[in-house]
Amino acid sequence: MAMPVSPTILHRFTPSYYEEGKSPTYLLKVPTLIERAAYNRELQTLGISYPSDETLNGLLRDGLDLFNPDNRADLEDALTALEAAKAEKTEPPEDAITLVTDLEALLRQHYQPFAEALAQRAYAVEVRQIVACRMFLRGVENAPFTLKPSGTTLADADLMKLPELDRLMIAVELNRLMNPEPETEKN
């Protein structure tokens, strides 16, 4: 069962990869419904969009049409196998992963729409982390640095102090808090 969280109490979060006793504890503001909307508005204001898996798969298939490789049938089967595995929440076949990874590498270099979608996805992930930390990170304990929010936001100078992996994990945790499981949300 998930633990209930409250927007009136700071949520303490420590990334799981730290050794006990040597780990920073980040103090996170649990977003209210209005704050979730403000977060999404900020992302929209910045023009952030995250190309879906369906979009990328469509671009992969478009790339197949464009390049028409000799192993096209195998690649189509591999794409279908990956899509099915995702839908069924199972592990995809290794050979399908290898074929699609090779296709992605080819299209990243030679098919601009696919390369742009991947770049947009990477940019969206990075900016989401920054915006989430700026809006909802309130402090840190047991760390070799301090964070001093100005009002309700964190300055870029403070964000730069965060280890990159910590920033990612904080954003993942904040996403979990913003999108709670139904049993948690009703608490």
Helix axes 112-136, 33-45, angle to 10 degrees: 140
Check residue 3 and report its DSSP letter: P
**Of the candidates 9, 46, 11, 41, the residue with the CA atom closest to the CA atom of residue 176:** 11
Question: How far apart, in Å, are the Cα atoms of 55 and each of 67, 68, 96, 121?
Answer: 18, 19, 19, 11
Write down the pLDDT at residue 124. 95
Amino acid at 33: L
Write down the pLDDT at residue 5. 63
Q: For 179, left (φ over 0), alpha (ψ -120 to 50), or beta? A: beta
> In angstroms, what is the C-alpha Rg of the chain?
20
Write down the pLDDT at residue 1. 37
Write down the pLDDT at residue 67. 83
The rounded distance, in Å, linking the Cα atoms of 119 and 127 is 12
**131's tokens:** 């915006």
Write down the pLDDT at residue 150. 81
Torsion over CA: 40, 184, 141, 20 (sign)? negative
Q: Terminal CA-to-CA distance of the chain, rounded, Å?
A: 11
Amino acid at 8: T
Q: How many residues does the chain have?
A: 187
Spans of the chain, pLDDT less than 70: 1-5, 182-187
